[in-house]
Amino acid sequence: QDQLQQKIICPGPVTCLTASPNGLYILAGVAESIYLWEVSNGNLLAILNRHYQDLTCLCFTDDSSHFLSGAKDCLVLVWNLYSVLQAEPSQIPDPRHVWSRHSLPITDLCCGFGGPLARAATASLDQTAKLWEISSGELLLSVLFDVGIMAVTLDLSEYHMFCGGMDGSIFQVDLCAWPVQRDRTFQTERENGKVFKGHRNQVTCLSVSTDGSLLLSGSHDETVRLWDIQSKQCLKTMNHKGPVTNAFIVLAPANMFNPDGKPSVPLPKFSKHLHGTESNDEPGSEGVTLRLGLHQQDSEESYLEKAEKMYARMYSTREKNLMGDQEHLTIQVSELEEEVSTLRKINKNLFDFSARIITKPAK
């Protein structure tokens, strides 16, 4: 049943929207600005103005530590979420990386797995799809097509990159192909076995199943198609009453089929003003607000120092567990050796007894 849980008025038309995988934050692109809200209380934590034209796409890394933004200004910016949260409201934090290798507007973004060590794919109207390394910001691969690319995604193992074109074609790029070339041209006539054909208009969204066997695609031809990746055959076509702008495969929540299931946390209305600048007379402004990161530069430990201490404790505990496991394993081995020795004695006695009976002369 279609149930409207909350209607939230935003500062302007929203061109792209995403939520962090941990469910704590919401990002929205409004004109050239990125708005960051905290889901639990609706506070507007940051407004980022580093793009020069309208936002087109936003995405988080799988650990929610970084997010990427793409716009019509041909730029892709990589942001560290903790740096954004630590910055004072009067300051505009700098992005971690600025990727400016595209020459036309960015159309889609996709992050792989690995948090800050992950790889990210970008698509653009300049007929290229590019693969980047988030940690270093380096360009790993650039693939040139004969049409503008509107959508891009990676499979779970990051063995293939799928690119949706303006003509309705979907291209499969092998990321482990040999020889390794940073600049590659996808020639459709030569790679006919790596093209999904069926859509009659531009492909707007792509999503791969967790087992890597199925591909979901949406298009302006008002259909969503489900493909078998191995055979490139269309398994199912779902018709809609207008252009499809987004579609993706997601694991069903545990309480999805429970008729009594309700959201555990009610969704509040999102604030239009930066947190800390509203009037204290507003209802609900009292209370304690927790923000991730340090507000002031003082003698306290930085986030990285705390993270290093936490990892050190984790590894020391793991080593202790491993040592304990080794001691336990040694005891088990000695016990098993004693049991094997006992069984050998019993077996020898049985053999001697059987031999005496068999070789005993008949009376």
pLDDT digits (tens, 9 = 90+) for 150-194: 999 999 999 999 999 999 999 999 998 777 788 999 887 777 679
Residue 151 lies in a domain: yes
Query: What is the residue-wise DSSP string for 34-97?
Result: EEEEETTT--EEEEE---SS-EEEEEE-TTSSEEEEEETTS-EEEEEHHHHHHS-TT--PPPSE
Residues 120, 209, single domain; the answer is yes
8 Å CB contact between 169 and 200: no
Question: Is the pLDDT reported for residue 321 higher than 60?
Answer: no
**CA 200/CA 339 separation, integer angstroms:** 72
Residue 84 lies in a domain: yes
Residues 333, 223, single domain; the answer is no
Residues 332, 233, single domain; the answer is no
Residues 171, 317, single domain; the answer is no
Residues 202, 330, single domain; the answer is no
Nearest of 91, 50, 80 to residue 274 by alpha carbon: 91
Residue 288 lies in a domain: no
Q: Backbone dihedral region of 138: left (phi > 0), alpha (psi from -120 to 50 degrees) or beta?
A: beta
8 Å CB contact between 151 and 203: yes
Which of 253, 278, 296 corresponds to the end of one domain? Answer: 253
Q: Show the CA angle centred on residue 151, arms to residues 129 and 199, nearest 5°.
A: 120
What CATH number has the domain bearing residue 113?
Answer: 2.130.10.10
Residues 234, 329, single domain; the answer is no
- What is the domain count for the chain? 2
8 Å CB contact between 25 and 64: yes
Give the rounded percent of residues in the chain with a pLDDT score beyond 90. Answer: 54
Which domain does 167 fall in, by range? 14-253
Residues 91, 177, single domain; the answer is yes
Residues 247, 321, single domain; the answer is no
Question: Is the pLDDT reported for residue 2 higher than 80?
Answer: no
Residue 316 lies in a domain: yes
Question: Is the pLDDT reported for residue 296 higher than 50?
Answer: no
Kindly list the distances between the CA atom of residue 24 and the CA atoms of 21, 50, 122, 292, in Å, as whole numbers in the listed order: 8, 23, 25, 11
Of 314 and 80, the one with more pLDDT: 80
Which of 183, 218, 253 corresponds to the end of one domain? Answer: 253
Nearest of 194, 195, 220 to residue 205 by alpha carbon: 220
Residue 357 lies in a domain: no
Q: Residue 319 has what pLDDT?
A: 57
Residues 123, 205, single domain; the answer is yes
Mean pLDDT for 326-342 is: 82
Residue 275 lies in a domain: no
Residues 172, 39, single domain; the answer is yes
Kindly list the distances between the CA atom of residue 265 and the CA atoms of 166, 255, 261, 262, 289, in Å, as whole numbers in the listed order: 40, 14, 12, 9, 17
Nearest of 167, 123, 118 to residue 144 by alpha carbon: 123
Residue 292 lies in a domain: no
State the Rg of the chain over Cα.
Answer: 29
Q: Residue 325 has what pLDDT?
A: 61
Secondary element (H or E) of residue 314: helix 303-359
139-144/183-185 β-pairing: parallel
Which pLDDT band holds residue 329 (cuts at 50, 70, 90)? confident
Nearest of 157, 170, 234 to residue 205 by alpha carbon: 170
Residue 64 lies in a domain: yes
Question: Is the pLDDT reported for residue 281 higher than 50?
Answer: no
Of 16-20, 123-127, 197-201, 294-298, the one with minimum mean pLDDT is: 294-298
